[in-house]
Amino acid sequence: MSFADLKKQSSLGSLTAKLVKEVEKVNNSGGGGDDRLWKPEMDKTGNGYAVIRFLPAPNGEDLPWVKMYSHAFQGPGGWYIENSLTTTGGKDPVSEYNRELWNSGNEADKDTVRKQKRKLSFYSNIYVVQDKANPENEGKVFLYKYGKKIFDKIMESMQPEYEDETPINPFDFWQGANFKLKLKKVAGYWNYDSSEFSAPGPLLDDDDALEALWKKQYSLAAITAPDQFKSYEDLEKRLKYVLGQKPASRPRLDEEVDDEDNDRGSYTPDFSSRSQKSELPQELSEQLNNLSSSNEDEDDALSYFQRLAEE
């Protein structure tokens, strides 16, 4: 835009209208979350419904999902909200600290470990077939973060329990199946138990359109790339601060963590370096507390505690 054009738009008032429209976008998006991520919404009755299709592995990648371990808990020094280095097989200061507590023989220490255990999440590319809460999402490709319950349903569709059930690959464009995501609140938590796959069939009847969708998918490998994790030393420093072992001076704002939310009232990473706040809004604090006591990843928690006892 030239200076003359800038002056012309000023006289027409078009710049003001454009800025107002951008502000409306920010307000409607709830503060500017990652627009690659899709999540379902509940209606006023406390239920949610959407139809999605899990997509194949992105071009050049082997799996149509990636898993992420993270921690989100509060201590005397604030919140610890970080991706865990155990995601990629590394040592993580929280896991090592939890192991010490678990093996102390003190029940109070074990309770502490339960509150700050790892959270297991999965990410896949999806195509939104139906989303009445946000119809503008229909026909688009997003990243979707989900927990072990939904992942188990995916595994059950590929390895059915009974002989009269035909296995399917839910990530297949042609032989896969739409996923009817049914959401409700049970004991205060988001529950997906009623969700199910439809009958198998092609997502679209046009291979050119399917290829175009495939090319729009987001990299899953990028979610667990090295730059998505802080160093062991930085994580250890943050952990000590949260546990109340504060340094002489307060950490800079860029060492603290932004507010986050996720599909069931817990933490969703933004796939980028985040700053941390020692104080979070009351609503988010309650959501993160829900994460600690949630039963969605109970099976993973049990195996995690068993490993702590064995080490």
Q: Is 249 left (phi over 0), alpha (psi -120 to 50) or beta?
A: beta
Q: In this structure, what token pair is assigned to residue 307? A: 């490993």
> Where do runs of H (alpha helix) occur along 131-281?
148-158, 207-216, 232-242
Res 177: pLDDT: 97
* Distance (Å, whole) CA 213 – CA 202: 13
Query: Rounded to whole angstroms, how far apart are CA atoms 146 and 95?
Result: 22
* C-alpha angle 233-256-224 in degrees, rounded to nearest 5: 60
Amino acid 26: pLDDT: 45
Sequence letter at residue 188 = G
Strands 47-54 and 66-75: unpaired
Question: Angle 128-129-131 (CA atoms, 0-180°, nearest 5)?
Answer: 75
pLDDT tens-digit series, residues 66-124:
999 999 999 999 999 999 999 999 999 999 999 999 999 899 999 999 999 999 999 99
Q: What is the mean pLDDT of each run of 10 residues along the chain (311 residues)?
A: 60 58 48 80 90 96 96 95 97 96 94 95 98 95 96 95 92 97 89 95 96 96 96 97 73 35 40 41 45 45 50 50
pTM beyond 0.85: the answer is: no
pLDDT in tens, 178-211: 999 999 988 888 899 999 999 999 999 999 999 9
Alpha-carbon distances of 279 from 28, 94, 238, rounded to whole Å: 24, 20, 14
Contact 147, 297 (CB under 8 A): yes
Average pLDDT in the chain: 80
Give yes or no for a contact between 221 and 73, defined as CB atoms under 8 angstroms apart: no
What's residue 247's pLDDT? 64
Q: Which domains does the chain have, with CATH numbers?
A: 35-311 (3.90.198.10)
Q: What pLDDT does 86 receive?
A: 97
